[in-house]
Amino acid sequence: MTEMLTGATVRKWIEKTAAVMAENRTYLTELDKAIGDADHGNNMDRGFKAVVEKLPEGDDIGALLKAVSMALISKVGGAAGPLYGTMFLQGSKPLMGKSEISFEELAQFFEDAVAGVKMRGKAEAGEKTMLDALVPAAEAFRKAGDLDAGLKAAVEAAEQGMKDTIPMIAKKGRASYLGERSRDHQDPGATSSYMIVKALEDAVSEAA
Amino acid sequence: MIGIVIVSHSKQLSDGLKELADAMSQEPVPIASAGGIDDPEAPLGTDAIRIMEAIQEVMSDKGVLVFSDLGSAKLNAEMALDLLDDDERKNVRLCDAPLVEGVLAATVQIASGGDMDAAIAEAREAARPFVDGAGGAGAASDGATEEGAAREFRIKTVHGLHARPAALFVQTVNRFDGPVRITNLTKKKPAANAKSINGVMLSEVGGNDVIRLSAEPAVADDLFAAIEDLVASNFGEAERAPDVPEGEPEQEAEAAPQAKAVTSGTLKGAAIAKGFAHGPIRQIRRALPDEVEATEVDDRDGEVDRFRAALAASETELRAALDAKGDGIAAYDRKIFDAHIAFLHDPALTEPVETGIRERGVSAGSLWRDAVADLSKSYRGLADPILKARGEDVIDVGLRVLRHLSGDAGEVAGATEAAILAFDDLRPSDVLTLDLDTVLGIASAYGGKTSHAGILASGLPVPVVFGLGVDLTGIAEGTDVLLDGGKAELTVAPDKALLDEIEAERVRLEKRRAEAQAVKNDPAVTKDGVRVRAAANLASLEEVAAVAQSGAEEVGLLRTEFLFMRREAAPSEDEQYDIYRQMVEGLNGGALTVRTVDIGGDKPVAYMDRPEEENPNLGWRGIRYSLAEPDLFETQLAAILRASAHGPVRIMFPLVSTLEEVTAGKVAVRKVMDVLKERGQAFDETIEVGIMIEVPAAAERASLLASHVDFFSIGTNDLTQYVMASDRANPKVQKLCDPFDPAVLSMIAKSIAAAHEAGIWIGMCGAMAGDPLAVPILLGFGLDEFSMAAADVAEFKLTLKGLSRADCEALAKKALEQESAAAVREMVAAG
């Protein structure tokens, strides 16, 4: 049973995410090729590589997450940069100076992160975007009531949300230009969002 | 002064736009370029931090205006705003306007002392440059009245009021209060706002044009004096437009050239599709009419409904035509029609019509014609050939809607009697809707290869010639004409001698073809029993059946470029695999030699993000490009290898110059083989890997290269142009580009000898391999495989039957000793 999420685990989460993005670079780009401009995998991989390089010493969780945000903003290039950048930036603000965070604080992090993405992308869930994975994940996490169960529920919700994007018609971003033709493709943004949530669960369960 | 920040995915674009904007204004406007991201591997993108710094760089208490290009650039610009302090942020505005036009318009406005709102308004107006006269940029809504003081000026700058002179003009006018209007009298343009750069640009003031300026009496004298000074100094430009002689009427700017009656002679045009056609001409008018009669309508709402119904009917028709073509239309071509459908929804076209009906009660047809004419003219006036071609699309759509408005529902190009169709201007949709059963050939007065209609028509099975000139329309209906698609000529009333000549040639060719057809399935053997391999070149899936029936034993060259061109993203491994597999399965056991993609700088591929090259033929193409793009290369290799599980397949690398390239290519093959093994996918482990010999360096080092590959194939087109250092597309030097030149022949002989010494086989897949005159020489050198157009294979076998290797060896030796290509040809022709 994990009570608190430590700075070391957050660092591990970030490194794990970078590894997952590198591993799935081609897969994400393939997904993006179908409905976007075929750069999502490359962008995420490049962004998280830069993240790992620029990660500061220490276990200030807010500072770690802010560093993630800044690296993504300046390295990703496509829309995922400002969107994930905002997500981590908004989420990091209340966590500045904290070396461990509680279930409540992580729930708040998810909600702030989701709010940041909604604000930046002017989007809501159901539009075939990252939010389709992130919104249910944040809700499921809060509902579960503790860290371990919450992360498990969040991963399941994010995965379901990611799959739910397949029949959706895109309303935002380049995929929306395709209209009806954006159907039957899984959204690459929702997929990378799921991977990020999954990486957190993995990092936590390994630390336990 | 207000600062401007340019945000673009491309650093070149934002830097270039800054350069252009800097040159537009007399007063330096602070402009910062924030383009690209700091990653040399993938430089396209935007960086919020860089944008924030750019904003700070040009920040003053007057504020900053930020322009951005596509989607995520806007997101990052917003992000940058969030990163600023509250104090800084309140003076920054994001401007939603077309990037280039918006920045230029705002720069001029700011340099003229405009405030933030004026600059934004001006930039946004640039978004609707086509609605002049209907409430858009520079329209009469500025409140100026015709009663104000007015004066006329003749503009003497060479290009009239464009770029710098236009900016100077607008800045000068903006020094004066009240509305000022400009009317281009020479081109009979509607009055426009002279304080707006868009208004002035849209007035299209050319050198020698006369403009009328009108302004409020209070400022008129000073304003006119200031403009007088500008005109006297010729806007600071040295060169002046040539004078128009006194008394001579000025040329009407848009006067259409008149066709004269044509009863004989030959018109020359641009070759689009080859072949001969002889028959009566049928004239088809597809130009936009000069005028559609305007009537007054009582039921204005009803007329708007009628207009909308015509738009809807046009859309239905286009969609039906596309559906009927199904998969038989390339995605790229489909896009042309998607653009047509988009035009039907474009407010720049529809709004002036609806406004005109509602406010003035004018009938839709006349308003629509004018809107279409204006928009197409704007496109046709552009220098970029791609944009220019859109003018043609606008008219195409325009005519379709006009047809529905006039109640005439039939398609245009159906003919009952076989004829050569002569279009005054051929539209893309005409090509799509042609009934080929009754079309002998197609001639068009206008258009070229890069026009959309040209691209579409190049695939037609009948001769097509474009750009024959306006005289084409002067040929009387039913006149007997001869259309030669290869020479791009149309001969009016061809005389008997010419027809006889062509007929005799046709008969001779047909007879030889019949003889050849009789032997096409025989083995490719000389009369003294030497066996070679007859192969065909292949460039698309559709040709496989023709190759299989041609008598070819194998495919000596599959050009894979078709898979990569005219589409939006590179084909996936599965897509390529599927096509290679279908090909090899369609060849009845014959081998398929797949050349990895050779896309050069001369063949633009949108998604490949290639730099423009000064010498594309000497540039980044062939194996050079593939090795630099491992994803693309390995994807293709994987697809080829997987196809090798279904029949004999070979891999061939194009444009090899060095051993290093061969080694790197083979390493990539091995790497992909490992991946396939890991995935558990089948492939032929003994697959042959060879190279093209088309670079002189490779021919020179053939002995070295031969010990590292399984085969060679000589590409004569490129080899010839590189050996002779002459561009075959350049008419001034193309005569040098002759593969019979002994210098080229010597390279070929050397490569063949080197291959045989190393114990590998060698083929040829250039145009020369199928040339009956070249076959004896190549046979004499010892060439093993001849790969040519499928249609030439039967004839090749016939030629071969008449040759003996021993004779040819002597002939080939003699050919190398000749002085010139001409001497070689003479010698071979003499036998």
Tens digits of residue pLDDT in B46-58: 888 889 999 999 9
Dist. CA A78–CA B276, nearest whole Å: 52
The residue of chain A nearest to residue B74, with distances taken between CA atoms, is A79
Q: What domains lie within chain B, and their CATH numbers? A: 1-127 (3.40.50.510), 131-240 (3.30.1340.10), 265-286+414-496 (3.50.30.10), 300-405 (1.10.274.10), 527-829 (3.20.20.60)
Dist. CA B335–CA B548, nearest whole Å: 33
Which of these ranges, A159-168, B206-215, B257-266, B504-513, has the smallest mean pLDDT? B257-266
Dist. CA B824–CA B134, nearest whole Å: 69
ipTM, two decimals:
0.71
pLDDT of residue B330: 57
Which of these ranges, B235-239, B275-279, B432-436, B465-469, has the smallest mean pLDDT? B432-436
- Who among A26, A43, A120 is closest to B78 (CB)? A120
A121: tokens are: 């992308």
Q: Answer yes or no: B765 catalytic.
A: yes
Residues of A in contact with B71 (CB under 8 A): 79, 173-174
pLDDT of residue B596: 96
The neighbour count for residue B127, using CB atoms within 10 Å, is 18
pLDDT, mean of residues B52-76: 88
One-letter amino acid for residue B28 of the chain: P
Cβ pair B402, B365 in contact under 8 A = yes
Residue B414 makes CB contacts below 8 A (sequence gap 6+) with: B435, B438
Q: Residue B548, exposed/middle/buried by CB under 10 A (0-12, 13-18, 19+)?
A: middle
Count of A-B CB contacts under 8 Å: 69
Residues of B in contact with A75 (CB under 8 A): 37-39, 47
Strand partners, B491: B266, B482
Q: Which residue carries 């046979």 as its tokens?
A: B779
Higher pLDDT, A81 or B139: A81
Parallel/antiparallel/unpaired status of strands B761-764 and B785-788: parallel
Q: Does A64 touch chain B (CB under 8 A)?
A: no
Q: Does B46 touch chain A (CB under 8 A)?
A: yes
Q: Does B829 touch chain A (CB under 8 A)?
A: no
Higher pLDDT, B377 or B299: B299
- pLDDT tens digit string along B331-374? 556 666 777 787 888 777 888 899 889 888 889 999 999 888 88
pLDDT of residue B131: 37
Residues of B in contact with A73 (CB under 8 A): 47-49, 76, 79
Q: Answer yes or no: B646 catalytic.
A: no
The residue among A39, A43, A76 with the most chain B CBs within 10 A of its CB, best to mutate, is A76
| Helix-helix angle A25-35:A40-54, to 10 degrees | 140
Parallel/antiparallel/unpaired status of strands B31-35 and B192-193: unpaired
The residue of chain B nearest to residue A177, with distances taken between CA atoms, is B71
pLDDT of residue B710: 96
The alpha carbon of residue A82 is apart from the nearest alpha carbon of chain B, in Å, by 6
Please answer yes or no on whether B42 and A73 come within 8 Å at the CB atom: no
pLDDT-derived band at B477 (thresholds 50, 70, 90) equals confident
pLDDT-derived band at B246 (thresholds 50, 70, 90) equals very low
- Percent pLDDT > 90 in chain B is 36
pLDDT-derived band at B817 (thresholds 50, 70, 90) equals very high
Higher pLDDT, B725 or B328: B725
DSSP letter string, B519-569:
HTTS--B-TT--B-EEEEEE-SGGGHHHHHTTT-SEEEEEE-HHHHSSSSS
Q: Does A90 touch chain B (CB under 8 A)?
A: no
pLDDT, mean of residues B424-443: 78
Dist. CA B551–CA B523, nearest whole Å: 9
Residues of A in contact with B82 (CB under 8 A): 86
- The structural architecture, per CATH, of the domain A5-207 is Alpha Horseshoe (1.25)
pLDDT, mean of residues B268-287: 83
For B48, which DSSP code? H
The neighbour count for residue B486, using CB atoms within 10 Å, is 12
Q: Where are the domains of chain A?
A: 5-207
pLDDT of residue A64: 95
CA angle B313, B316, B319 (to 5 degrees): 150
Residues of A in contact with B334 (CB under 8 A): none
Please answer yes or no on whether B47 and A82 come within 8 Å at the CB atom: no
- pLDDT tens digit string along A102-142? 999 999 999 999 999 998 888 889 999 999 999 999 999 99
CA distances from B407 to B306, B396, B401, B424, B515 (A): 10, 17, 10, 23, 55
| Helix-helix angle B742-758:B716-723, to 10 degrees | 120
Higher pLDDT, A47 or B566: A47
Dist. CA B92–CA B25, nearest whole Å: 22
Q: Does A74 touch chain B (CB under 8 A)?
A: yes
Please answer yes or no on whether B39 and A75 come within 8 Å at the CB atom: yes
Please answer yes or no on whether B50 and A46 come within 8 Å at the CB atom: no
**Residue B245 predicted with pLDDT over 60:** no
- pLDDT tens digit string along B573-630? 999 999 999 999 999 899 999 999 987 655 556 677 677 777 888 888 999 999 999 9
Cβ pair A184, A162 in contact under 8 A = no
pLDDT-derived band at B136 (thresholds 50, 70, 90) equals very low
pLDDT, mean of residues B708-734: 87
Q: Does A138 touch chain B (CB under 8 A)?
A: no
Helix (H) or strand (E) holding B23: helix B11-24
pLDDT of residue B132: 39
Cβ pair B444, B250 in contact under 8 A = no
**What value does the mean pLDDT of chain B take?**
84
Q: Does B569 touch chain A (CB under 8 A)?
A: yes
SS3 string of B371-430? HHHHHHHHHHCCCCHHHHHHHHHHHHHHHHHHHHHCCCCCCCCCCCCCEEEEECCCCHHH
Which one of A53-57, B167-171, B207-211 scores highest in mean pLDDT?
Answer: A53-57
Please answer yes or no on whether A30 and B49 come within 8 Å at the CB atom: no
pLDDT of residue B410: 52
Active-site residue, selected from the candidate residues B452, B646, B737, B808? B452
Beta strands across the sheet bearing B64-68: B31-35, B3-8, B64-68, B92-95
Residues of B in contact with A38 (CB under 8 A): 569, 607
pLDDT, mean of residues B322-336: 64
